[in-house]
Amino acid sequence: MKNENLSTEKEISGSRIILEAFLQEGVKTIFGYPGGAIIPIYDALYDYKDQLEHILVRHEQGAVHAAQGLARVSGEVGVVLATSGPGATNLVTGLADALLDNTPVVCITGQVFDHLLGTDAFQEIDVMNVTSPVTKWNYQVTDANELSEVLAKAFYIARSGRPGPVLIDVTKNAQLQKVFDKGYTPCEFLRSYTPDPVPDMDYIEKAAFLINKAEKPFIIAGQGIMLGKAEQEFLQFAEKSGIPVAWTVLGMSAIPTDHPQVVGMVGMHGNYGPNILTNECDVLIAVGMRFDDRVTGKIDQYARQASIIHFDIDKAEINKNIKVDVPVLGNCKETLPLLTQLIEVKNYSEWFERFKGCEEIEQLKLINHELYPSSGEITMGEVIRHLNEMTAGEAVIVTDVGQHQMATCRYSRFKHSRSNITSGGLGTMGFCLPAAIGAAYGETQRPVIAVMGDGGAQMNIQELGTLMQYQPDIKILILNNCYLGMVRQWQELFHEERYSSVDIQSPDFVQVAKGYSIPGKKVSQREELEAGLREMLHHKGAFLLEVMTGKEHNVFPMIPQGKSVSEIVLNHTKV
């Protein structure tokens, strides 16, 4: 039968089918690391140098985080290549991070020849069972005839609905095998898979009814707004409604941070007002967020007085953590405009005054001391304040995980969407540097700044080699408090200052960077800070700035674990 179609088919290797699929999907940059089981794909890649840029990372975990950075900034699918065995298992942390943060990534792993599967061959591992819990979908290909269809499904599943990581494991024989291929056809439909539920107007009308009669409504913006590319639709909804808007950590930058309706961030280290007033609002509108435990605090005391409207694309999230009154399933790019048509233009001046009063308390008790200290050690907050003033909200800021992350998310200012790139659900130390490298390939013309702590900086520090080789213009800002700061803070507050294994020694980061041909500077005194930041930002190319911050400073406000959002503390004592 195939011989009759030779005029419309061409003989091509499995490896080339994979690369042709990348081109058809609009991929321009691949992050990866070669090895024995994936050599045929890399051999084919030699002929695609003008069409596909391959970034050789220094560790496969760095490849996934880099792909995440590209995807988070651009909204496109990040792509990774890795070999079998340890190459594949090194992807697991990044896959888990991408799954929890809904980041579209397609990973291609090499595998031993199909006749060796199950024999414990050199660098063989059961990649399917290893990665099944941390992928949206995975599949093993042993015959090149399957590749075009499987890859089309992979990209479709990764980017559609609630995005996530997909892994395709390809045996070496399938990479080498030559088949007659008809060409690549993108996937647009899969049976039994409904990525975009059809909006139910009954629920949208119920949501509008609750909003129109509300006296103290409150909106929480999640990352789903950006994943659905619904920033404009959300802004129109928010502005017509006149309702106060807060965001989750991952929802930050879905709306400009200086918008007059913005009241700050919710969550464990969020702002005072948005947290305590969650338990005073009468209607809570959650858009594209999943009621994570770091947002809700003690679940049985979360917004019990409010009618809750939950916009989400994934039915599994509805009533998973918090019971809601009105579930609105669907892509919020479609559902929000339907709601906007039905809501009334209203003013909530008295309700906004409540937020303003809370903000004044937080400013007086905490923020002024964090952002404008007159003496003592440098605070993380004042570093971010200077950074804001110099970048004017135009930067993409990538953070690692820890105290610096929370300080950066609390105090950064953004004008544009997809500007706050951080590891949310998994909280992966070592995320920042490779993710920043990936973000630089996300076709953004904005400066990319990697903000990390001294602990996380050392977890994927080898990616300085990637930075050296490819020279993306990234600024590295290490806020060094000589501690694993977040763990130390918990040990101080909840474990009687029994500091166990948190006093971390670090190398001379400036000298380490110098070894990778990256210039740097260390700042220890407040008088040097502004000039140091300016030098970093104005330097053409990569630059590392290490800033020594207060060793035992804590990040506040804080909702202690097991407490309700109403029990947020502004310092060591409750307000």
Which residues are known to be catalytic? 60, 122-123, 172, 486
The β-bridge relationship of strands 10-13 and 178-181 is antiparallel
Tokens of 399: 């953070």
Tokens of 517: 């041909």
Place of tokens 């006749």: 115
Q: Is 221 left (phi over 0), alpha (psi -120 to 50) or beta?
A: beta
Tokens of 335: 């559902």
3-class secondary-structure state, position 309: strand
Measured distance CA(432)–CA(43) in Å, rounded: 31
Q: What DSSP character marks residue 102?
A: T
Among 102, 82, 77, 70, which Cα is nearest to 22's?
77
DSSP string, 397-453: EEE-SSHHHHHHHHH---SSSS-EE---SS--TT-HHHHHHHHHTS---S-EEEEEE
3-class secondary-structure state, position 185: coil
What strands lie across the sheet with 307-312, from one edge to the other? 262-265, 245-247, 217-221, 283-287, 307-312, 326-329
CB 61 within 8 A of CB 93: yes
CA-based torsion, 385, 391, 393, 399: positive or negative: negative
Tokens of 377: 């050690």
Those residues with Cβ within 8 angstroms of residue 392's Cβ, 6 or more apart along the chain or in another chain: 415
The β-bridge relationship of strands 178-181 and 137-141 is unpaired
CA-based torsion, 43, 48, 52, 55: positive or negative: positive
